[in-house]
Amino acid sequence: MAKSLPLPVLAFLLFLSFAPGTAKAQSPESKKAVQIPLAKALKDVGKAYDTKFVYEKSLLEGKTTSYELGEIKGKKIEDVLKSILYPKGLLFLYIKQNYYTIVSKDRLEPEYKTADGGSSNTPLQNISTLYSTSSQTKPLASQNIKEHLVNGQVKNNNGEPIEGVSIVIERSSIGTMTNKNGRYSINNVIDNDVLVFSFVGFETQKIPVEGRASIDVVLHETNTGLNEVVVIGYGTQKKINLTGAVDVVSGDELQNRPAPTVSQLMQGVSPNLNIQMSNHGGEPGSASSWNLRGLGSIAGSSTPLILVDGVESTVDDLDPENIESISVLKDASASAIYGSRAPFGVVLITTKRGTKNKGTKIQYNDNFSWASPIRFPRMTDALTWAVATNQSFANSRLAPYYPDEQIQRIKDYAAGTLKAEYDVNNAPTSVWKGRAIGNANYDWPSLMLRKNSLSQKHNISLTGGDNNTQYYVSAGFYDQGGLYTYGNDSYKRYNILANLNSKVNNWLSFDFGTKYAQTQTNYPMGIVGTTRDYNFTSIFQFGPMMPKYNANGTLQNPILVAMKGSGRDVTANNDLWLRIGTTIEPVKGWKTNVTYNYNIGSTSNNKNPIPIPIELGTGQMANVGFANSGSVEGMGNWNYYIFNGFSSYEKTINGHFFKIMAGYEQELSNSKNLSGSRMNLISDKVPSINSATGASTLGSSADHWATEAVFGRINYNFKEKYLLEFSGRYNGSSRFAPDSRWGFFPSVSAGYNISKESFWQPVKSYVNNLKIRASYGSLGNQNVANYLYLSTVPVSSNLNYIIDNVRPIYAQVPAIISSTLTWETVTTTNLGLDAMFLDNRLGLTFDLYDRKTTNMFGPSQNLPAVLGTGAPYENNATLGTKGFELSLAWQDQISTNVSYNVKLNLGNNKTTILKYNNVNGQIDNWYVGKTYGDVWGLVSDGLIQTDGEKMADQSYYYSKWGPGDMKYKDLNGDGKINPGNRTLTDHGDLKIIANTQPKYNVGLSAGVNWRGFSINMFWQGVLKRDFVPSIYANAFYGFSGQGGAQTEMYKNGTMLDYWRPSNETNIFGPNTDAYFPKPYANTEYQKNIQTQSRFVVNAAYMRLKNLQVGYTIPTRLAKKAAMSNARVYASVENLLTITKLPKTLDPETAFASDYNYGGLNNLAFIYPLARRVSFGLNITF
């Protein structure tokens, strides 16, 4: 930073085109060794090298040169310029690619004269800054048409004067520039003129004079990308000098989207960063799982390390408004510095800080949104449902589930001739019976969820600071309403963030931060004995014929009654982070940072089970709640600290840049939980353990772990052309046995900025920048459970059995220990390329990687079940993931008023098992060569149409087969359909039929700005993925075959497309060319829905995650309301989904809910995603 202070580069920003008359004044016919004006010579040189020069007109006036154009062939531009300019006492300074500024020799400060006689290659130093405001003098009272003088000062974001800024009167193109103190004066200005302030590397500003005589301006730097400073592990680095695979997402890209959480915002933003919903689906406050570059470990976790301001914390507790930038460190070289904490990459989130000398700025943002469920199944009419169900019962040769008498009632009710929703003479006699004997016609899903659920988001921030102290303070509130019609559900989040940076003197500064989040979720408890998620399953188990009301008008549907009347499940989390850090720089270039972060948090959960009376159709009362009221409470608290200190020294000697960093870190985590319950409340209104009188339970848990590490990094580059980096970490974790606790994880990487080479000049105007990178390194994975190396006897309380009138504590058998367990080692090779084309309008980043996890945790062996437990983990497997990431961005300004941008992210990866202890080659386990996500299954061969049709013997699956049943292909030609031994050598008629991993993950954003208007859209998708529904997925098959009457018929579903004989006389008629086989009401159905090729569904999708239209109110209007900036916008989340899935399935919730992929419920229903229409406002004062 010190280096960039009085920036001595005197760059004059007068492009040749801004110097009218300069070229015209010279004779274009000048030939041969005659003296030609210097300006003309420069113009020719400029043409030849596609280079522009900036200078003060007067500097060249009267100067001539005899240099000939013909002489420059084959020479470097620097040499040409030297020979033209040096003799005239002029110097040239490199500003950026293809831009030079020409100055008088004596205007350079001595220390910046370089050794080779004057040419300085020192680039302009960009400083990452945040905000600027213009301080301006008041306009004069009356406008004056008379030309007058305007003067003032131009500074950068840090309040430092900038020399060489061009100031041009827009009307006349007359200009001047600032002097060493950033001061300027310009004559011939009239009152309604507009002054254009421009300087290379800074954003151009147009300022109306409005009669003022003095105008001070602050210019802010442009992010041309290359000079951008990127946050990396324990430090920052210029993007151009990066050798690792790092993707940067700026806060701007995330702004103004009403998505509630950082996870939802980040989905699709960075290639190969896959964020998927949890098995709670779209429920307010539900978490997401993050994965970077695919599966890394099959036993341990393979989520990336997510650090907020350097510490690991819950990402969804963060208010997205507070994010300054996000760096995604993907390869080993970028994340090796985190050692065993970050085997699968790091996501570094930096929060906003105050800016220097900006005065105080207040910003207020809000957003109101209305959510409605998308792709949530809707039930068919009751008759369709009943007839289909009965057909499955008939196929099973069982009596009809809905007798004729009831079918008649269903018809009469639908025709309006019957008003009662059930037979009053045979009223439902139990809570659940209505679904079997009712005759109503309701679409329960649409009654369960509402269509317009309001959410709101507010954030106010205060930022500012002077040269020594800067602050950023922000408070946010988010209130997400749930979709339940009965029994509200909600998620609330309160955020406070304060960052303070203070410089005590030249060598000492402090950094303080506080971050507090409170989140609250409030849900109705589930029906007794289940979780709330089961409400979805239950509601779908009702047929449309389930009565909603009793004859006397009271509510009969037990789920609605239970959701409406149930006790609440309320969770509140408090998370407070405190940071104090100091930076000491006693000697220039030697910096030491010491930071201590302390986190204290607590969580509390209260549930109050209560009886929920419900009236049966018979008038009898029943209970869909608990037997007794009570209070179930859980409290947890944790504290965590992370301490680190690191010291770095950097120096440049003759273009050789060195930086050495070494550091130490330790972290310690403690957590404790206490839970208890007591039944029989004195008053239902006061649910607490204290005010209950019945039996009680009590339990607790506690946990702690620690890590310790030393780490270091060496950077070297030569003139930013050749880049080299080593880093490593020696890491210890309490999770492993003392002998296998420590591991060393090194990495090396290199980069080559080819475009900085002189031989690149000829193509430089097309390929403005090109860098190739390579890295190799290894990291550890300590993301396993604690204490796996210790044999412990698990002790639990509340045995689920009463002995001697109590539920005693009980102990269980210890797991077989893994005494030698140590790190998984994750080795990544990465090749990357960064390029900019066509005046930096087109940017390309491409990375190829090969990641191997060796010593991976795997069961010691595939052991016979007589062992009686799972085999313990050992470090004995190997897994490899290969993939690529491509990021392509185009931005352009068509005219001063219209600009647009398009950005495409594409990532793909494939994971293969390279070593695994599965000697028998069992295909249901991992085996060498298995691609993660592969599914083995039978190959379908159409439906049987006639009795006795020629087909293989399928008796392995069922004894009887007939028309409408599935035929399978006899792949091994033995005349029998079976799965063999389910081994690689004997897998019968099975083959790999699908891969369920998401492939080709895409993010696509595009935006257009026109004057104050902007339109932006963001698409996210998966271009290739197979969905293999589990046999429980009724939203797909319609018939469960699980016994009972779990038939489910949905509008827009494919389930009615099942086989019916050619002589079918029911309301559906024949359907021999069906997609689904003949349904059965019992487990016989499973013979037809064995995992097979026919029921592999294409789950690829593209989803318009966000579409937004915004308008920035013109500054002059905003100012009238004392605002410096004001923007309004309207936005829609999840507006459009393109997929081939049946409309009853959502490409995201299908996987989150399905049993095969970790879903909670058998029937694969889940809280749906929401379409969210919102309106928002950003105001800055």
The residues in 676-695 that bind another protein, with binding defined as CB under 8 A, are 679-680, 694-695
- 397 near another protein, judged by CB under 8 A: yes
What six digits make up the tokens of 174? 């007359």
Q: CA-to-CA distance for 1090 and 1094, rounded, in angstroms?
A: 10
Query: For the CA atoms of the chain, what is the radius of gyration?
Result: 35
Least distance (Å) between residue 793 CB and another protein: 4
Q: Are 662 and 644 in contact (CB under 8 A)?
A: no
Q: What does the per-residue mask of binding to another protein show for 232-251, with x meaning CB under 8 A?
A: --------------------
Least distance (Å) between residue 509 CB and another protein: 26
DSSP 2: G
> Which of 489, 507, 479 lies closest to 369 in space, CA to CA?
479
**Of the residues 149, 454, 682, 790, which one makes contact with another protein according to CB under 8 A:** 790
Least distance (Å) between residue 849 CB and another protein: 25
Q: Are 514 and 496 in contact (CB under 8 A)?
A: yes
Least distance (Å) between residue 881 CB and another protein: 27
- 62 near another protein, judged by CB under 8 A: no
> Which of 1038, 1069, 1139, 1057 lies closest to 1098 in space, CA to CA?
1139
> Which of 252, 362, 366, 261 lies closest to 306 in space, CA to CA?
261
Q: CA-to-CA distance for 512 and 499, rounded, in angstroms?
A: 6
What six digits make up the tokens of 826? 């994750």
**Of the residues 55, 92, 290, 626, which one makes contact with another protein according to CB under 8 A:** 626
Q: Are 317 and 517 in contact (CB under 8 A)?
A: yes
Per the listing, tokens 């990178």 go with 773
What six digits make up the tokens of 217? 């301006």
- 1088 near another protein, judged by CB under 8 A: no
What six digits make up the tokens of 1180? 């800055």
How many residues bind another protein (CB under 8 A)? The answer is 114
Q: CA-to-CA distance for 1112 and 1126, rounded, in angstroms?
A: 6
Least distance (Å) between residue 6 CB and another protein: 36
What six digits make up the tokens of 698? 């009590």
Q: CA-to-CA distance for 886 and 831, rounded, in angstroms?
A: 12
Query: Which of 345-353, 371-379, 647-655, 697-705 is the region at the interface with another protein (rule: CB under 8 A)?
Result: 697-705
Distance of CA 834 to the CA centre of its chain: 22
- 1052 near another protein, judged by CB under 8 A: no
456 or 1042, CB closer to another protein? 1042
> Which of 390, 380, 382 lies closest to 1065 in space, CA to CA?
390
Least distance (Å) between residue 677 CB and another protein: 8
Least distance (Å) between residue 736 CB and another protein: 9
What six digits make up the tokens of 885? 């990431």
Identity at 48, one-letter amino acid code: A
Q: What does the per-residue mask of binding to another protein show for 739-778, with x meaning CB under 8 A?
A: --xx-x-x--------------------------------
**Of the residues 127, 436, 902, 904, which one makes contact with another protein according to CB under 8 A:** 436
496 or 984, CB closer to another protein? 984
- 621 near another protein, judged by CB under 8 A: no
3-state secondary structure of 251: helix
- 705 near another protein, judged by CB under 8 A: yes
Least distance (Å) between residue 585 CB and another protein: 22
What six digits make up the tokens of 360? 């105080």
Least distance (Å) between residue 706 CB and another protein: 5
852 contacts: CB under 8 Å, gap ≥ 6: 826, 827, 828, 878, 879, 880, 881, 914
831 or 971, CB closer to another protein? 971
- 408 near another protein, judged by CB under 8 A: no
Segment 988 to 1047, residues that bind another protein, using CB under 8 A: 1043-1045
**Of the residues 264, 474, 707, 1153, which one makes contact with another protein according to CB under 8 A:** 707
The b/e string for 1115-1146 (b: 16+ C-beta within 10 A; e otherwise) is eeebeeeebebbbebebbbbbebebebbbbbb
**Of the residues 33, 399, 653, 1067, which one makes contact with another protein according to CB under 8 A:** 399
- 814 near another protein, judged by CB under 8 A: yes
Distance of CA 951 to the CA centre of its chain: 50
Least distance (Å) between residue 795 CB and another protein: 6
816 or 1136, CB closer to another protein? 816
What six digits make up the tokens of 403? 């007798």
Segment 464 to 523, residues that bind another protein, using CB under 8 A: none
DSSP 629: -
- 430 near another protein, judged by CB under 8 A: yes
**Of the residues 5, 682, 809, 838, which one makes contact with another protein according to CB under 8 A:** 809
Write the DSSP string, 11-80: ----BGGGSTTTTTTS-TT--TTS-EEHHHHHHHHHHHHT-EEE--HHHHTT-EE---GGGGTT--HHHH
Segment 84 to 103, residues that bind another protein, using CB under 8 A: none
806 or 1138, CB closer to another protein? 806
- 1119 near another protein, judged by CB under 8 A: no
**Of the residues 793, 973, 975, 1122, which one makes contact with another protein according to CB under 8 A:** 793
- 26 near another protein, judged by CB under 8 A: no
Query: Which of 140-148, 572-580, 804-812, 1100-1108 is the region at the interface with another protein (rule: CB under 8 A)?
Result: 804-812
Three-class DSSP labels, 160-223 = CECCCCEEEECCCCCEEECCCCCEEEEEEECCCCEEEEECCCECCEEEECCCCCEECEECCECC
**Of the residues 863, 889, 951, 1023, which one makes contact with another protein according to CB under 8 A:** 863
332 or 1150, CB closer to another protein? 332
**Of the residues 173, 869, 1052, 1062, which one makes contact with another protein according to CB under 8 A:** 869
Q: How far is CA 906 from CA 537, 675, 859, 885, 1005, in A?
A: 36, 46, 34, 6, 12
Q: How far is CA 1095 from CA 389, 659, 951, in A?
A: 21, 58, 20
| C-alpha atoms less than 13 angstroms from C-alpha of 666 in its C-beta half-sphere | 4
Least distance (Å) between residue 869 CB and another protein: 6
- 529 near another protein, judged by CB under 8 A: yes
**Of the residues 338, 916, 957, 961, which one makes contact with another protein according to CB under 8 A:** 957
- 594 near another protein, judged by CB under 8 A: no
Least distance (Å) between residue 441 CB and another protein: 18
Q: CA-to-CA distance for 302 and 289, rounded, in angstroms?
A: 10
Query: Which of 42-50, 84-92, 148-156, 861-869 is the region at the interface with another protein (rule: CB under 8 A)?
Result: 861-869
Query: Which of 94-102, 424-432, 768-776, 1047-1055 is the region at the interface with another protein (rule: CB under 8 A)?
Result: 424-432
**Of the residues 110, 146, 801, 1063, which one makes contact with another protein according to CB under 8 A:** 801
Least distance (Å) between residue 1045 CB and another protein: 7
Q: Are 773 and 330 in contact (CB under 8 A)?
A: no
Least distance (Å) between residue 622 CB and another protein: 6
Q: CA-to-CA distance for 42 and 64, rounded, in angstroms?
A: 10
Q: What does the per-residue mask of binding to another protein show for 964-993, with x meaning CB under 8 A?
A: -----------------xxx----------
- 1157 near another protein, judged by CB under 8 A: no
Segment 909 to 928, residues that bind another protein, using CB under 8 A: 920, 922, 924
Q: CA-to-CA distance for 772 and 756, rounded, in angstroms?
A: 12
- 1130 near another protein, judged by CB under 8 A: no
867 or 1138, CB closer to another protein? 867
**Of the residues 654, 959, 1063, 1065, which one makes contact with another protein according to CB under 8 A:** 959
